[in-house]
Structure 1
Amino acid sequence: MSQLLDYLVENEPGFRRARLPALYSDFQSQRTLNPDGYQANVSAWRRALSRLVRSGLAPSPRGATPSLLVLNSNEQLLRALETKQYGRPLAVGTVVREALAAKDLVPLSEFLNAKESIYHRPWSVWGLAAWTMKQLGVADYLRSEKLPVGEFVVVANAEEVGKLFGDRSEAAASRFERTFSKTHFYKTFNSQLVEGKQLSQTDIGVLLKFLSRDKGVVLYDGETVKIKAPGQDNQTAITEEDASIAQLKEMLEYLTHQTALLSTRVDELTTTAKEAVAKKNRVAALAALKSKKLAETTLERRFTTVSQLEEVAAKIEQASDNLQLVKVMEASGEALRTLHAQVGGAERVEEVVDRLREQMSAADEVNSILAESAGAVVDEAEIDDELAALEAEEKAKVAEAERKKAEAEKARRDAEMAREAEETRRRLEAIEKIAAETQKQEQAETQEAEALMSRMSLEEMVPERQREEPQAAV
């Protein structure tokens, strides 16, 4: 299989090996005979082409950076998909035409030049007629097997990269951070949006057009890019201040890059001069030192310029923040004025407070009358008796609780003493048992020693008798 087909088999669920013969066949006739199968094949190929472009594996012009948003539909694409086992895919042309009709693919020039959003679907008489003919199958007579040739924007890829851009740009807070020149925008985001891949210049143009016209998240006039901040949807054009900020940021980025190069150049020339001195090459050492001096002078000027531009950038950011602060204060003042107007002024407030006080005094008077009338029927003696009964009941509860506690404590101590007595008894029995066993062992050892002594005495007496008996015989 080809490299592209191997990639699709591993990464695209619709390209299972069992389905490859059907996907590489000419399935145009299935549009009327088997509509479900036809749609399944078309959907699988459309997702596959989108994935090939997004992965950077789709064929691109020689020497050009692979585009991640634009499909190059030509003979080279068919050759890249061709395999020995299945040949060329015969229905890719149909797939591309279906995607063009559904606006999933849009010709590059049409995408870049369109004034209205790609999501706008105006109905027209010709569009309605074409849709009707397609539903009736009449349009099949006009179909072609040839692959449409050209560059087509893959809308699904543009949407995915646009979402990634939105996630990456959320942290940009100030006006200075949200404004770029097109060149600076490319250098900043070309390798940050798709992991492990770089967007081409064409991709950046497509992305900016998509974000500005179709999503409305940035402002773009062909040279300057400004990310819209929350609450600034009413801003519709790039101002001269935005263009100036973009040029300033681009110049700062350029000079910062130059200072890095010059610093490296100074280090290299210093090393060259040291090596020349070590080799006794005075001419080369002087030349290196002279070049180093010139590089250091240029580097100092660059640092001075960068410092000045950074100061200007800080002033611009401060002025922008002050402008936002004034706008917020103005809006807050207008809100306070509206609220004060709704309150009705100090006189109305005093009137409301006076009425509230009158109503509160009336309520207090009513409460006092009700309290006096209710107090005439209260019997203090009954209350005292009831209180005494409650206190006696509480004392009885406390005494009962203390009695139970004392009984429990006594039972615990008795149980503890019984346990200790039992433990002492068991220990004494164990000691007596050990003493008895020891005594028996000592008696056994004594008896064994006495027996041994007796045997030794007998053995000594036997030889003496033997000596006496021979003498008697003589």
Structure 2
Amino acid sequence: MSTESKPTLESYLTNRPEFASVPRIQSLYSDLGRQKLSNPSGYTANLAWWRTTLQEIVRRRLQPDQDDALVLHVDQDLSDALRWDKVGRPAGLSTVVEDLTQDGVLHPLELFLSSSASIYEGGSIVGRVADVLIKKSFWWALEHLNLVSSEATETPAAKWKRVTGDYVVVSVLKNLADNIIATQDEKSALTLSESIHSLESFKRYAESCSISMGGLAPLSSTDVKVLLKYLARDRRVLVIQGDVIKFAEDAISQEITTVDRGVFELKSTIERVEQQIQHIEISIASRTAQIKAALLANRKEIAKLQLGSRKALEALLNQRVSTMTTLTAAMSSIDQAHGDAAILRAYESGSKVLKEIMSRPEMQKERVDEVMDQLREGVEGAEEMRRLVEEAGWEVVNAAGAAVDDDELLKELEEIQREETSPTRGQTAPARQELDEKPIRELTQQFEAQKLSTPVRTPGSEKVAQLA
């Protein structure tokens, strides 16, 4: 059976299209510090390529002899692993790391874990330096944050020594954090046990969330520290107190309560009992195998001893399973009570909002009656206006009809009909006359019928009709 080999940094670089062009690789591996001054546009393109490449190296876990999935180790091993036969090692790697750090793409690991300020907070340079000075000397802080520039006189070896170290890759960290937060949001907020973790359970949870991202799980202890710091300080979705880790649902839950600690202890006990059950089951299987082996060797005394041991383990297993059932039922009751409390808080909040709305002046009965009366008057006024407009329209129509003689209209229609080119010009005269006069007779009959059925309406006609 063939096993899939782990991808290497060399195979990844080989598949990059840039490595098919020697001039392009020479540009990427050249001294970017000089290129930054002589060819700014080319330097910008090269820096973008290095940013993507270093991020992918970390995300795909291609760093040589490293287990971290969120931290880039800038050292001689990385430089040697990036070496390409046709161009050698990347001469501008120190410049790339320096500029990516200034752009916030990379963060020095030590500063990331020790700083109390969020990486998303702007702040002044002096403020950021002050935070570092708590733990480091003044000049080391200025040099590490690039607040003093000696690029013109600094040798490549000195610059490489200055940037050598461990860096958090923010984009990879953010993608994993987003995935964890999205997964947590899909879970019911009414389940308290789902939001409380120990360090080990959080590690397993984070690794399960990273599977869909590809290539991240498992996480190292450094990765877990970085992830916890980022979620708690920068994203503010975690509360950490001692060994208790809690996903904060809202501002109310931004602290570890006695209830949270009780749930934490209960979950930890359940995990320990689960491990004991697994260990007991393995021991029972081992005793069974030993009993069979002893019987095959006709060593009944040994088989009898192993059988007694297995009986004791089976009794212990039943006891632990019963304990697990009780603990699980208790956890379910706690989750249900927590959910009921959250529902009651929602009911209370809804009743307060409803009471506040109903207490407004516009929601009082007198005001409602007044508004409805005004609406009724408005509807009646609109209906009266519609009736008056309709009567005025009929007056205009009747006036226009009186000014034009209907007989003259019919006579003119007959003349227009005769002047038109008839499609029956080849027919005999009587037949053609019959076809020409038929539409006119029909139109005349319709017109006369309409005159007889539509009485002339005047402003006083309706009043006369009402009196009659």
- Band of TM-score, shorter chain: 0.5 to 0.7
- Give runs of aligned pairs for residues 295-374 of structure 1, distance below 5 A: 295-342=313-360, 343-346=362-365, 348-349=367-368
SS in 2 for 1:141: coil
Note if 1:169 corresponds to 2:184: yes
Note if 1:87 corresponds to 2:88: yes
Aligned twin of 2:102: 101
Q: CA deviation at 1:58?
A: 0.6
Q: CA deviation at 1:67?
A: 0.5
Q: CA deviation at 1:357?
A: 7.3
Quick one: which amino acid aligns to residue 330 of structure 1? E
Quick one: which amino acid aligns to residue 225 of structure 1? I
Q: Is the 8 A contact 1:176 1:245 kept in 2?
A: yes
SS in 2 for 1:306: helix
Identical columns (%)? 28
Per-residue CA shift, 1:420-448, capped at 9, x if unaligned? xxxxxxxxxxxxxxxxxxxxxxxxxxxxx
Q: CA deviation at 1:334?
A: 0.5
Q: Is the 8 A contact 2:176 2:209 kept in 1?
A: no
Note if 1:195 corresponds to 2:189: no
- For residue 252 of structure 1, the aligned residue among 253, 257, 270 is 270
Q: CA deviation at 1:157?
A: 1.2
Deviates more, 1:357-366 or 1:46-55: 357-366
Note if 1:151 corresponds to 2:170: no
Gaps of 5+ in 2: 1-6, 130-141, 391-448, 454-468
Aligned twin of 1:56: 61
Cα distance change on mapping 1:91 and 1:292 into 2, 3 Å: same
Q: CA deviation at 1:328?
A: 0.8
Structure-2 separation of matches of 1:331 and 1:47: 48
Aligned twin of 1:70: 71
* Structure 1 vs Structure 2 CA RMSD: 4.0
Cα distance change on mapping 1:293 and 1:335 into 2, 3 Å: same
Aligned twin of 1:214: 234
- For residue 298 of structure 2, the aligned residue among 280, 284, 288 is 280
Q: May I ask how many residue pairs the two structures share in their alignment? A: 373
Cα distance change on mapping 1:283 and 1:171 into 2, 3 Å: farther
Aligned twin of 1:406: none
Aligned twin of 1:38: 43
Q: CA deviation at 1:227?
A: 2.6
Q: Which has the higher contact order (CA 8 A, sep 6+)?
A: 2
Quick one: which amino acid aligns to residue 6 of structure 1? S
Structure-2 separation of matches of 1:86 and 1:359: 87
Cα distance change on mapping 1:125 and 1:191 into 2, 3 Å: closer
Structure-2 separation of matches of 1:360 and 1:17: 81
Cα distance change on mapping 1:258 and 1:299 into 2, 3 Å: same
Quick one: which amino acid aligns to residue 42 of structure 2? G
Structure-1 separation of matches of 2:352 and 2:109: 48
Q: Is the 8 A contact 1:219 1:227 kept in 2?
A: yes
Q: CA deviation at 1:222?
A: 5.2
Quick one: which amino acid aligns to residue 209 of structure 1? K
Note if 1:141 corresponds to 2:158: no
Q: Is the 8 A contact 1:252 1:310 kept in 2?
A: yes
Quick one: which amino acid aligns to residue 24 of structure 1? Y
Q: Is the 8 A contact 1:180 1:245 kept in 2?
A: no
Q: Is the 8 A contact 2:248 2:254 kept in 1?
A: no
Structure-2 separation of matches of 1:368 and 1:36: 76
Quick one: which amino acid aligns to residue 284 of structure 2? V
Cα distance change on mapping 1:14 and 1:205 into 2, 3 Å: farther
TM-score norm. by structure 1 comes to 0.67
Q: CA deviation at 1:352?
A: 5.6
- Give runs of aligned pairs for residues 423-462 of structure 1, distance below 5 A: none
SS in 1 for 2:80: helix
Structure-1 separation of matches of 2:165 and 2:125: 26
Deviates more, 1:194-203 or 1:217-226: 217-226
Gaps of 5+ in 1: 372-384, 390-474
Q: CA deviation at 1:52?
A: 1.2
Q: CA deviation at 1:6?
A: 3.0
Quick one: which amino acid aligns to residue 223 of structure 1? D
User: Radius of gyration: which is bigger?
Assistant: 1
Q: Is the 8 A contact 1:272 1:285 kept in 2?
A: yes
Aligned twin of 1:180: 197
Aligned twin of 1:6: 11
Note if 1:47 corresponds to 2:65: no
Structure-1 separation of matches of 2:127 and 2:247: 38
SS in 2 for 1:190: helix
Q: Is the 8 A contact 2:47 2:96 kept in 1?
A: yes
